């Protein structure tokens, strides 16, 4: 309770001489260390101190810092403080032990020293105590202090200010000194939260290093730097805003670590680790707590490196999946590490060396310092990822085409929009054979060249798109839903018309075209760049029975409903939304409004089926979508995709078409048998009845 009694009633009292007199009278002779002792601050401070320097310590209080500095060789020290009591106390304490050190009662806002008489001004917490808020009067007092610091320092002298770097404090100091032409460098003292003799700060402690430079006529350049790690080179920033943002990120990281230690079960926590050179995100870390795991000495903490290209899989890309991963791995706290597509990684050993120090900061409290923490992965390697193509669409933004190695040594091709890089927009399996269109030819090796086993492997170039394989479970379910049409045993051989809104990589319409031999498939895609992607990179091609219309699906369906009603046996919506502000990413909300759904119904034949891929995280919004669908389509089935947000909705106009669950599965089996024709490839893992087993009537 004593610590609470010593705090002022108002923050402004920190600048009052009367408050500090009372503080030190009640405190007695026990030292009060703001933001750490000499040993904790030694590493950054010693870079800017020389034994021969004349050092002024402002707001010295009863800290032992000056005494410790003196004892290690810095003996030309003058200490000032506004409190007469503490100056008398400290002067008496050092009079005989440190005869060259002096203590003076002085206000840092108006000092009696001549100009340019010190090489260093050291401030440990004084600026923070003075600059309690961003009010105009408070800022004016701080600027008086800055002016006095600048006046008493020689050119080349350093103002070393130990601070918590609250935004208004950091901004005021950096703005003032950078405008004066000083060099500004900020050091974070350590990765650990700073401690005092009283308590622990959750925020990290920083040291501002302001170096007084001679003015250069006509020069407007400012030097703003941050040293975030002990042995790193300083990172230079182009603006004060960028520097402040970088400091805030360090503070947020320290707060996150503090919260993790206080509340290990706070849920899935994620953060990005950026490269030291360009500042780009290099690793994405998720901290997973698994209370179901019984703690032992060897299972408290582990690191899991996600193979390249697999970070979007359910097990690695969802909170639920990561919890299952931690439980199956048998660790109480697991940090998963995703590797970014635009970064280069040598091998597992190099990644471990790069991450070891940083990830240990996320270890649970009490973990022995010398305990070896295991690095885990699938198959013990970092996986394979080859970026085949990168481009920008005027509608969809920047995207990449990547080939990755998945389970069972199989390779897959992904389309990823960088605006939503955690989602694979389209996926196709690659198989042995002639290279698919878009694959670059393998370059011939120069004579004498040998492969480096330490370098990551690349995806083989002699692979083609496997058109018989539907990677996406929701596509499999959508095709299975065609068994709701009449006479499923005849569907591969009878003419049916299918309208698909949304092309993506084209695997869904291409599969229908290839396996329903008399079908006519029309695809509506708003983005011409996506048609080029599907054609060049996913084996898609148009023909007599497969057409693509570059148009807005809303406009196309509306005009077609008026011109050619009852035209289609099946209509499928697999179109994503670019609006991230709503809780539904597929389809855009306008596609499931009642007036538009009525137009969809008008396009369907009476016994046709409308199949919709719904991705909706907002429960109320989902309920409203289902209500609108039920009003237009009396018969509605729903099939949730396990481990994903996707939900496939099968809609029909006539209730008399309703099939009991058992009959629905039989229809799926009948359709599958009809599709499996001799001489035609069929994926043995694709069982249509399994896709409809969990279907429920809405």
pLDDT (tens digit per residue) in 620-673: 999 999 999 999 999 999 999 887 788 999 999 988 778 888 899 999 999 999
- Rounded CA-CA distance 109/17 in Å is 12
How far, in Å, are 107, 210, 236 from residue 186 at the CA level?
A: 26, 9, 10
Confidence at residue 277, expressed as pLDDT on a 0 to 100 scale: 66
* CB proximity list for 507: less than 8 A, separation 6 or greater: 426, 427, 428, 467, 470, 471, 472, 475, 538, 540
Q: Shortest CA distance to 285 belongs to which of 268, 307, 308, 260?
A: 268
Q: Shortest CA distance to 609 belongs to which of 521, 514, 478?
A: 478
Confidence at residue 118, expressed as pLDDT on a 0 to 100 scale: 97
Q: Which residues pair with 389 in a beta bridge?
A: 401
* CB proximity list for 591: less than 8 A, separation 6 or greater: 501, 553, 554, 573, 575
Q: What is the pTM of this model?
A: 0.69
Q: Tens digits of per-residue pLDDT, 221-274?
A: 789 999 887 767 888 898 999 899 889 888 888 888 888 877 777 777 888 888
Q: For 125-264, list the strands marked E by DSSP.
A: 153-163, 183-188, 206-211, 224-227, 235-237
With contact defined as beta carbons under 8 Å apart, do 150 and 35 qualify? Answer: no
Q: Which residues pair with 586 in a beta bridge?
A: 615
Instruction: Tell me how far the alpha carbon of residue 366 is from its chain's centroid.
Output: 27
- Rounded CA-CA distance 425/398 in Å is 13
Confidence at residue 24, expressed as pLDDT on a 0 to 100 scale: 44
Confidence at residue 116, expressed as pLDDT on a 0 to 100 scale: 96
DSSP characters over 97-116: T-TT-EEEE-BTTB--PPTT
Confidence at residue 457, expressed as pLDDT on a 0 to 100 scale: 58
Confidence at residue 44, expressed as pLDDT on a 0 to 100 scale: 92
Task: State the maximum Cα–Cα separation within the chain, in Å, rounded to a whole number.
Answer: 107
Q: Within 10 A of 117 (CB to CB), how many other CB atoms are there?
A: 15
Q: Shortest CA distance to 621 belongs to which of 582, 669, 590?
A: 582
Beginning with the edge strand found earlier in the chain, give each strand of the sheet holding 301-305 in spatial order. Answer: 269-274, 281-289, 333-339, 301-305, 375-377
Q: Shortest CA distance to 523 belongs to which of 543, 537, 494, 493?
A: 543
Rounding to the nearest 10 degrees, give the CA dihedral for residues 184, 186, 187, 189.
130
- Indicate if the alpha-carbon torsion angle 633, 635, 638, 639 is positive or negative: negative
Take residue 513 and report the two structure tokens written for it: 């075209």
CA angle 644, 596, 541 (to 5 degrees): 65
Take residue 398 and report the two structure tokens written for it: 């920047």
Q: Tens digits of per-residue pLDDT, 125-173?
A: 899 889 988 899 999 999 999 999 999 999 999 999 999 899 999 999 9
Q: Shortest CA distance to 11 belongs to which of 99, 110, 135, 124?
A: 135
Which residues of the chain have a pLDDT value below 50? 1-11, 13-14, 19-20, 23-24, 27, 191-200, 434-437, 439-455
Confidence at residue 359, expressed as pLDDT on a 0 to 100 scale: 85
């Amino acid at each position: 309770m004593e610590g609470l009694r010593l705090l002022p009633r108002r923050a402004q009292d920190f600048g009052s001489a009367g408050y500090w007199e009372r503080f030190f009278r009640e405190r007695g002779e026990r030292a009060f260390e703001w933001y750490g002792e000499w040993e904790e601050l030694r590493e950054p401070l010693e870079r800017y101190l020389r034994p021969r320097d004349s050092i002024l310590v402002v707001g010295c209080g009863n800290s032992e810092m000056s005494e410790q500095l003196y004892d290690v060789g810095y003996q030309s020290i003058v200490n000032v403080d506004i409190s007469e009591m503490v100056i008398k106390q400290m002067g008496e304490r050092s009079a005989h032990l440190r005869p060259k050190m002096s203590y003076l009662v002085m206000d840092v806002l108006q000092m009696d020293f001549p100009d340019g008489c010190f090489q260093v001004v050291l401030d440990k917490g004084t600026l923070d105590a003075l600059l309690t808020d961003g009010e105009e009067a408070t800022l004016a007092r701080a600027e008086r202090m800055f002016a006095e610091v600048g006046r008493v320092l020689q050119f080349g002298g350093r103002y070393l200010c130990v601070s918590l770097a609250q935004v208004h404090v950091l901004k005021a100091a950096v703005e003032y000194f950078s405008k004066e032409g000083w060099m500004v460098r900020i050091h974070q003292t350590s990765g650990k939260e700073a401690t005092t003799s009283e308590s622990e700060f959750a925020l990290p402690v920083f040291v501002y290093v302001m170096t007084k430079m001679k003015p250069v006529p006509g020069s407007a350049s400012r030097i703003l730097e941050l040293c975030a790690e002990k042995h790193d080179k300083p990172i230079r920033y182009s603006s004060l805003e960028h520097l402040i943002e970088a400091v805030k990120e360090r503070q947020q990281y320290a707060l996150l670590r503090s919260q993790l230690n206080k509340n290990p079960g706070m849920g899935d926590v994620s953060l990005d680790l950026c490269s030291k050179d360009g500042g780009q995100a290099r690793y994405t870390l998720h901290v997973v707590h698994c209370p179901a795991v019984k703690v032992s000495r060897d299972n408290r903490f582990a690191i899991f490196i996600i193979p390249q290209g697999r970070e979007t899989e359910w097990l690695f890309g969802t909170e639920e999946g990561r919890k299952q991963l931690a439980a199956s791995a048998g660790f109480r706290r697991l940090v998963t590490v995703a590797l970014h597509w635009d970064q280069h990684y040598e091998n597992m050993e190099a990644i471990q060396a790069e991450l070891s120090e940083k990830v240990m900061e996320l270890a649970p409290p009490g973990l022995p310092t010398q305990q070896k923490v295991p690095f885990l992965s699938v198959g013990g390697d970092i996986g394979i990822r080859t970026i085949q193509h990168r481009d920008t669409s005027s509608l969809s933004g920047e995207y990449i085409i990547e080939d990755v190695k998945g389970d069972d040594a199989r390779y897959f091709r992904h389309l990823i929009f960088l605006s939503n890089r955690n989602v694979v927009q389209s996926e196709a399996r690659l198989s042995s054979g002639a290279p698919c269109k878009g694959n670059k030819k393998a370059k011939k090796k120069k004579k004498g060249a040998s492969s480096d086993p330490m370098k990551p492997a690349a995806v083989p170039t002699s692979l083609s798109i496997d058109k018989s394989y539907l990677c996406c479970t929701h596509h499999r379910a959508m095709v299975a839903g065609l068994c709701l049409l009449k006479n499923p045993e005849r569907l591969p051989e009878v003419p049916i018309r299918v309208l698909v809104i949304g092309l993506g990589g084209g695997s869904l319409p291409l599969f229908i075209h290839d396996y329903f031999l008399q079908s006519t498939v029309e695809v509506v895609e708003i983005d011409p760049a996506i048609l080029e992607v599907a054609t060049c990179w996913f084996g898609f091609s148009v023909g007599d029975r497969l057409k693509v219309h570059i148009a807005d699906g809303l406009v196309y369906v509306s005009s077609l409903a008026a011109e050619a009603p009852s035209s289609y046996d099946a209509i499928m919506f697999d179109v994503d939304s670019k609006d991230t502000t709503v809780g539904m990413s597929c389809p855009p909300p306008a596609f499931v409004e009642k007036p538009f759904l009525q137009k969809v119904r008008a396009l369907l034949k009476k016994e046709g089926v409308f199949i919709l891929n719904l991705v909706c995280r907002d429960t109320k919004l989902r309920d409203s979508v289902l209500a609108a669908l039920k009003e237009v389509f009396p018969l509605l089935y729903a099939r949730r995709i396990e481990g994903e947000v996707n939900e496939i909705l099968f809609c029909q106009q006539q209730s008399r078409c309703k099939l009991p669950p058992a009959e629905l599965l039989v229809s799926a089996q009948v359709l599958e048998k009809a599709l499996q024709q001799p001489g035609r490839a069929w994926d043995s893992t694709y069982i249509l009845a399994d896709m409809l087993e969990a279907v429920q009537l809405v």
